[in-house]
């Protein structure tokens, strides 16, 4: 299989809602394997299809749940349920969140402590992934946001949103016209 380039914030693919998968085809199976290969190469917790430029409602994950047990899987056509998101600025040590499409940056992001997604797997079987606490609960919310065309930096409180804008400007992705990066080579790609 293959490691695919990951789109960087500012790329239009990240800001458009994805489309429901109607049929599990060989191309979908290849995409999912490529997504796992890409996630592994990038050392990430989750990856949505639109992060590799495919507007389909699929994400893969590989992270610990609230009991620190590693969970790995794929959810196709996920539907998210979540608990209440605490108001105000999250504590920096409790809510640091990063994103493969905003490489190298981490910002405190308020998320619910509990989340569940339902969808299907590559065999068309129903999948239910639920987590309380841990990286997995955050990941389920983060990846579903991607599929809805939303990035975690859009969920930041005003305090952290300003810091995120400054950090991204300092990285110069937009000024240098960087739209993707390749986790296999760690090289940026320009428009």
139 is in an annotated binding site: no
Catalytic residue (one of 143, 154, 174, 189)? 143
15 is in an annotated binding site: no
The C-alpha atoms of residue 154 and residue 14 are separated, in whole angstroms, by 12
Average confidence score pLDDT of the chain: 93
Question: Whole-model pTM above 0.85?
Answer: yes
Q: What is the mean pLDDT of residues 133-147?
A: 95
The C-alpha atoms of residue 30 and residue 26 are separated, in whole angstroms, by 6
142 is in an annotated binding site: yes
The pLDDT tens digits for 60-105 are 999 988 888 899 999 999 999 999 998 888 877 777 899 999 999 9
Check residues 154 and 69 and name the one with the higher pLDDT: 154
Strand 178-182 and strand 6-7: the pairing is antiparallel
Domains of the chain are 6-177 (3.90.45.10)
Confidence at 191, pLDDT banded by 50, 70, 90 = low
- Please confirm, yes or no, whether 143 is among the known catalytic residues: yes
How many C-beta atoms lie closer than 10 Å to residue 87's C-beta?
8
Sign of CA dihedral 147, 42, 190, 175: positive
The pLDDT tens digits for 4-41 are 999 999 899 999 999 999 999 999 999 999 999 999 99
Confidence at 109, pLDDT banded by 50, 70, 90 = very high
């Amino acid at each position: 299989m293959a490691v695919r380039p990951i789109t960087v914030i500012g790329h239009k693919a990240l800001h458009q809602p994805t489309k429901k998968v109607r049929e599990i085809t060989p191309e979908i199976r290849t995409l999912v394997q490529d997504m796992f290969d890409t996630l592994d190469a990038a050392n990430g917790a989750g990856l949505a299809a639109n992060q590799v430029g495919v507007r389909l409602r699929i994400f893969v994950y590989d992270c610990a749940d609230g009991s620190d047990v590693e969970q790995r899987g794929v959810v196709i056509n996920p539907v998210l349920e979540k608990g209440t998101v605490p108001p105000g600025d999250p504590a920096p040590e409790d809510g640091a969140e990063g994103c493969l499409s905003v490489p190298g940056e981490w910002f405190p992001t308020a998320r619910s402590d509990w989340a569940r997604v339902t969808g299907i797997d590559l065999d068309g079987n129903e999948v239910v992934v639920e987590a309380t606490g841990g990286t997995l609960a955050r990941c389920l919310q983060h990846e579903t946001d991607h599929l809805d065309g939303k990035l975690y930096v859009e969920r930041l409180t005003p305090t952290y949103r300003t810091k995120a804008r400054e950090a991204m400007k300092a990285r110069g992705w937009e000024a240098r016209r960087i739209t993707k990066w390749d986790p296999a080579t760690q090289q940026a790609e320009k428009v």
